[in-house]
Structure 1
Amino acid sequence: MFERFEKLVDVTAPPPREQPPQSLRALYRYFLSEHRRLFLALMLIGSGVAIADAMVPVFIGWIVTLVGATDRQAAFTAALPTLGLMAAVFLLLRPALLLLDLMLRNSLLVPRVTSRIRWVSHWHLIRKPWAFFQNDQAGRIASRVMHLPGALRESVEAGIRAVWYIAIYGGTSLLLLCQADWRLALPVLAWFLGYGLLLRRYVPRLRVLAGANAQAYSALMGRIVDSYSNILMVKLFARQDSEDAYAREALEAHDLAQRRHMRMITSFIFGLALLNTALLAGTAGIGIHLWLQGLVGAGALAMALPLCWQMASTAGWVAWEIAGIFENVAGVKDGMQSIAAPSTLTDLPQAKLLAVTRGEIRFEDVRFGYEGRPEVFSGFNLTIRPGEQVGIVGRSGAGKSTLVYLLLRLFDAREGRILVDGQDIREVTQESLRAAIGVVTQDVALMNRSILDNIRYGQPGAPPADVACAARQAQADGFIRALRDEDGREGYAAIVGERGVKLSGGQRQRIAMARAILKDAPIMIMDEPTAALDSEAEQAIQAELQALGRGRTMITIAHRLSTLMRMDRILVLDGGRLAEQGTHRELLERGGLYASLWRHQADALEPGHSLFRQEPEQAVA
């Protein structure tokens, strides 16, 4: 029975392609519209429970009237249909409604709908451009993804569970009281008016304070995760005290926001308690007056007082629910800043799949600059021939990595075009573009998974034999087979830790190279592929890279110039322009910027390094 309910929602079904909207109401509609039948069922069930609960005082009134009858047997016989109705409502109908409500909430709404919203949120977030993640903290983004679905679901659930309940219960109570005597309904009408005024006074303030509380919490989470993510730097620089101060500032800000929020909630609850007291006193006073005048019987009075008491008790619960609703709505609004943030880099509706047949790359009049910084490229032109192995060098900030980011379309050029085999990369899907390019980044990122899974990231589902072959080409198979993690997993099954912290820099770099080799893409980008390697390992891997590059277009960025000596062509960038280009020997003979960089590196190295083991004319140059 549980599984039947749980299967009504497919958590990981393909989500809607359109981006989550930036309007709060539209965001609720976006996430909840596919579950409208569930919420409608909950409202109908809630109405049934509220009406059944409102009938309790009515039945109490009937029983009071019954036990006050002179002819008890005749009165009991006459009341049998009423007693049968009472039994049906309380022994059958109400338990059945409660069971169905519990099944819908606990088997469907809480686990499945929340997971569904979380999946859709994550699906859209992971497809946002790289710049989006650069401009925020990973901890805060993750906190929003995890918190928003629950907050969104709980705010709607509380609205149905509490606000809708008291609306139905109150409306039913008014009708029942009016049937007994319209004057008994006056305190209830006055209570509803006072309740509305109370909400009008406190709701806007609660919304603002709840929003400030949610933002302060999000900021606190971001700071704490930032410290944990960079714990090695904290330890190396002995900065625990600084991190304490950094976290303390956010913690105190959150504490202050939370205290202000709780003060307002306390005032709201106390005001509601006074209102409830007035409701009970007013109903009792009017009821006793009408009873003394002989206008209502004891049964009517026995019905009116429990009705109002139940309403007053429910109102306190509803007040807490309303406070929770605003807190959750504030959490949703905070999460919107990430989940509903507009994507500035998207595929065109008619985008096609990239077809790489030769591997030619062209930059045509490209102009680009990062926001708030000077332009990196202005009218940049470059053609990389099919199958050509190209090295890129230049001083820091010359635009080397930016050139690669633009080719991968991690950023869009402001003007000009970038073509791969004549296809404008803005007119093809980003996934097909990046699937055609293998990359080894300077800052190697590994998942907290096994080495097998990390290398397989280049080609999911690749046989273990192919993974091992790629690792051997990257000079990684030897150290991989000797690995053993704290749980006893060995070799390719060993877990590398968060961002690969259990491995050395050189080991991480070689695994990243194995991953790129396994991907076997027609275009390869190597960004400082041997930066973390010693000279001996560098020479061994250079031979493998040379073989890997045959038949495919390869771009290699390096500060260590010995990595580029065998390239077909070396491009020298300076200030966002192509200052020089040619082979290693041609550039040395030219005596320009490249030759200057070569001499500086040679002067900094000891004899015997690979830079000195060149042909005589190269060493002299």
Structure 2
Amino acid sequence: MKIANLIDPFRPADGPPPGTFIAFVRWTLKGAWPVLWLAAFVSVLAGLSETGTAWVLGKVIDGVVESGRENFFSARNLGLFALALGFFMVLRPVIFAISNLMTQVVVTPAIAPLVIMRLHRWMLGQSVDFFDNDFAGRLAQKQAQTSNAMTNFVTEAINVVAFALASLVGAFALIVSIDFWLAPIFILWFVAYAGVIRYFIPKVRKRAKARAGARAVVTGRVVDTITNIRTVKLFANAGHEDGSALDAVKTFRDTVIHFGQLSATFRLVLMTLAGTLPVMLVGGTLVAWQGGTATEGDIVAAGTISVRLAQMTGWVSFALMGLYRDIGEIEDGMRTLTPDKQLRNAPGSTDLAISEEEIRFEGVDFAYGRLKGGVQNIDLTIRSGEKLAIVGPSGAGKSTMVSLLLRLYDPEAGRITIDGQDIRTVTQDSLRRAIGMVTQDTAMFNRSAWDNILYGRPEADEEAVIRAAERAEAHDFVTDLEDADGREGYDAHLGERGVKLSGGQRQRIAIARAILKNAPILVLDEATSALDSAVEAAIQETLYDVMSDKTVIAIAHRLSTIAHMDRIVVLDEGHIVEQGSHAELLAQGGIYADLWARQSGGFLGEAAAE
């Protein structure tokens, strides 16, 4: 095994992320702990080598002083020189090299992907409601922020905390060996140092958390504006967006200044305290030397270790600030990312078994947790192979029914079954694999046209992809595509959310994707609304062919697209108020007949006179 692979950076996490800091750290780093402890042990050895530096120098000085000038090259001194050379040129460099290897090659490259992939997998399982209530940019920022902060936290804990603690313990042992009465001086200084840390660090942590939250708001605001840049320009609201972003940036700047003021004060107090350590330890050793209980080498050792600890104090102060800043950012990320909004598979759930493709809504209520909206008391059976249309005014509950069928939400009452299987008892992946869908608001990835079509069935071959594109009337325009990087045809990238395509082109890609998926149940939610009349006519013929052996649910405002369906269900304010064939509903003279009569111009006005 290569040393870089001692930690598996892609190992899945166990269960959901906890909501408390220590438990969250254990969750994110599970599987890496043995290697992290090994890295910390090597860092401890590096810290002890700081004490070894002072001890070796002291021994060399004592040997030289005792032997005098005339015996400078004595065998004893040459042995001490060899010891010093071996320590400074071999042992110490090797220890530091191994320590650096552990952190830079083993730990750091593994922790970042380990954390971000565990968070990303968790996020993928969150319900759509979770994403609807936040900024996409903010969520992405929080994942990256938490991953970076956890990586810094781990590496600083190894490189600084373990190193510094080992240095302190070694220094204390060395000071006690010089003169026992120097120990109270060292302990007094350490207690003062710990008191300063205890006072300042919680404040650093709090202000770091506030700074992280303000930075995430800035990112979310900017990403939200860029994502909707066409709307910004169409409404000439660049000034408004500038003001909105400016308010967020000002708040962020205030938190940065607030953090910086505390940082400067913390640094001043620690550096002042650090300056007292060499004075106290070297002064105490000089007193001991004057009393005959310490040697010249002891003075050098005490001076070396105290100056090194004083220098280290500044480094440790910065590191501890960074450490607690990271803790603050991790906790800030936890608040956003760890809430459990997941719709989980039921215990013992099995894959959906499709036989007849019959769908039943049995007493289904759903109002998004509110008192009004959604659908109420829906009883509906969609027979095997039936082509069912759902129509009604905006807000009547049409899309809610589709969302419930796809189990993006669970009914608040009643149940939905497919071939007698309650969809809450089957795995969500098997349910959604059985349903192909084309929506009005078509989602595209900023990937190639090929990848976007292939998303319907990733294992499909080239012939199947091209055939699906041809049937969706997409092949001709796809072959003419070219992106900014010179990629052409099916290799051309479509831009974020498919922005480089027209609405009609995006829908044809989506239809090709659904054709390729070839699921036994097909849902069409305004599937041809963005197409011009000529393309729509060609696509309709294709869709009729695709629908021939499937159970179909079609939602449409343009009634011409659903007049041929086997049955039409009319929703109003969340209730089924009418159902029947096109002719039957026209004969009833109800809501559907009124909707049909009001279709005009491009919406089949000429047919309304029939």
Q: Which residue of 1 is the match for residue 533 of structure 2?
A: 535
1:427-438 to 2 correspondence within 5 Å? 427-438=425-436
Q: Which residue of 2 aligns with 1:513?
A: 511
Matched, 1:51 2:41: no
CA contact (8 A) 1:178 1:184 kept: yes
Partners of 2:570 and 2:592 within 8 A in 1: yes
- The match for 2:137 is 139
Distance 1:423 1:242 in 2: 51
The equivalent of 2:348 in structure 1 is 350
**How do 1:287-298 residues align onto structure 2 when only pairs under 5 Å count?**
287-298=285-296
CA contact (8 A) 2:50 2:305 kept: no
Gaps of 5+ in 2: none
Quick one: distance in 2 between partners of 1:162 and 1:360? 64
Conserved 8 A contact 2:358-2:383: yes
Q: Which amino acid aligns with 2:45?
A: G
- Aligned 8 A contact 1:184 1:304 in 2: no
Q: Is the CA contact (8 Å cut-off) linking 1:5 and 1:103 kept in structure 2?
A: no
> Is 1:562–1:611's contact at 8 Å kept on the other side of the alignment?
no
| Whole-angstrom CA distance in 2 between matches of 1:302 and 1:12 | 50
Give the drift of 1:115.
Answer: 1.3
Greater shift after overlay, 460-469 or 435-444? 460-469
Match of 2:164 in 1: 166
Q: Residues 86, 113 of structure 1: CA spacing in aligned structure 2 closer, same or farther, 3 A cutoff? A: same
CA 1:17–1:439: 2 relative to 1, 3 Å: farther
1:65 to 1:474, Cα distance in 2 relative to 1, 3 A: same
2:282 counterpart residue number: 284
The answer to whether the 8 Å contact 1:419/1:425 transfers is yes
Q: Given the alignment of the two structures, is residue 123 of structure 1 paired with residue 113 of structure 2, yes or no?
A: no
Alignment correspondent of 1:311: 309
**C-alpha distance in structure 2 between counterparts of 1:485 and 1:216, whole Å:** 36
SS of the residue aligned with 1:272? Answer: helix
**What letter corresponds to residue 503 of structure 2 in structure 1?**
G
Distance change (3 Å), C-alpha of 1:185 and 1:225: same
Q: Which residue of 1 aligns with 2:30?
A: 33
Are the aligned partners of 1:535 and 1:610 in contact in 2 as well (CA < 8 Å)?
Answer: no
Instruction: Give the count of matched residue pairs.
Output: 609
Provide the rounded CA distance (Å) in 1 between the counterparts of 2:564 and 2:193.
Answer: 81
1:418 maps to amino acid? I
Indicate if the aligned counterparts of 1:360 and 1:421 stay in contact, CA closer than 8 A.
yes
1:70 CA displacement: 4.9
Aligned runs of 1:529-608 on 2, under 5 Å? Answer: 529-602=527-600, 605=601
What is the aligned partner in structure 2 of residue 196 from structure 1? Answer: 194
* 1:259-279 C-alpha deviation (Å, 9 max, x unpaired): 111111111111111111122
Matches within 5 A, 1:266-415: 266-372=264-370, 374-415=372-413
Name the aligned partner's letter for residue 31 of structure 1. Answer: T
Contact conserved, 1:458 with 1:515, CA < 8 A, in 2? yes
CA deviations over 1:364-386 (Å, ceiling 9, x no partner) = 11111113451422222111001
SS at match of 1:102: helix
Equivalent position of 1:178 in the other structure: 176
* Comparing 90-99 and 43-52, the one that deviates more: 90-99
**Which residue pairs with 2:488 in the alignment?**
490
Shift of 1:62: 2.0
Matched to 1:335, the amino acid is G
Contact 1:359–1:385 under 8 Å retained in 2: yes
Q: Using the alignment, how far apart are the partners of 1:343 and 1:429 within structure 2?
A: 17
Give the corresponding residue for 2:439: 441
Counterparts of 1:172 and 1:488, CA distance in 2: 62
Q: Please say if residues 360 and 417 of structure 2, whose CA atoms lie closer than 8 Å, have aligned partners that are also in contact.
A: yes
d(CA) in 2 for partners of 1:281 and 1:111? Answer: 42
Structure 2 CA distance for aligned equivalents of residues 535 and 280 of structure 1: 87
Alpha-carbon offset, residue 73 of structure 1? 5.8
- Matches of 2:430 and 2:124, distance apart in 1: 16
CA distance in 1, matches of 2:38, 2:67: 46
SS class of match (2:404) = helix
Structure 2 counterpart of 1:310, which letter?
R
Match of 1:77 in 2: 75
- Residue identity matched to 2:24: L
In structure 1, what is the Cα distance between the partners aligned to 2:30 and 2:546? 51
- Which of 213, 219, 228 does residue 211 from structure 2 map onto? 213
2:54 aligned partner, one-letter code: P
- Give, in whole Å, the separation in 2 of the partners of 1:102 and 1:209: 31
Task: Work out the CA distance in 2 between the residues paired with 1:309 and 1:186.
Answer: 18
Partners of 1:337 and 1:328 in 2: how far apart?
A: 14
Change over 3 Å in CA distance of 1:600–1:538 after alignment to 2? same
In structure 2, the residue matched to 1:471 is 469
**Identical pairs, percent:** 38
The residue type paired with residue 282 of structure 1 is M
Q: Deviations over 1:55-114 (max 9, x none)?
A: 112222222223323544656422444433333322222222222122221112111221
Structure 2 CA distance for partners of 1:214 and 1:527, relative to 1, 3 Å: same
Contact 2:569–2:578 under 8 Å retained in 1: yes
Bigger mean CA deviation after superposition, 561-570 or 158-167? 158-167
Aligned residues of 2:46 and 2:99 also touching (Cα < 8 A): no
Contact 2:571 2:578 in 1 (8 A): yes
Q: How many angstroms does 1:426 deviate by?
A: 0.5
2:57 — aligned with what?
60
1:287 shift after superposition: 2.4
Match of 1:262 in 2: 260
Q: C-alpha distance in 1, partners of 2:214/2:502? A: 37
- Paired with 2:502 and 2:39, the residues of 1 have a C-alpha distance of 55
Secondary structure of 2:9's counterpart equals coil
For residues 551-585 of structure 1, the C-alpha deviation after alignment (integer angstroms, 9 at most, x for no partner) is: 11000000000000110001100011101011111
Root-mean-square deviation (Å): 1.7
Q: Is the 8 A contact 1:188 1:308 kept in 2?
A: no
CA distance in 1, matches of 2:31, 2:14: 14
Hey, what's the Cα distance between the residues in 2 that align with 1:535 and 1:299? Answer: 96
The structural deviation recorded for 1:17 is 4.5
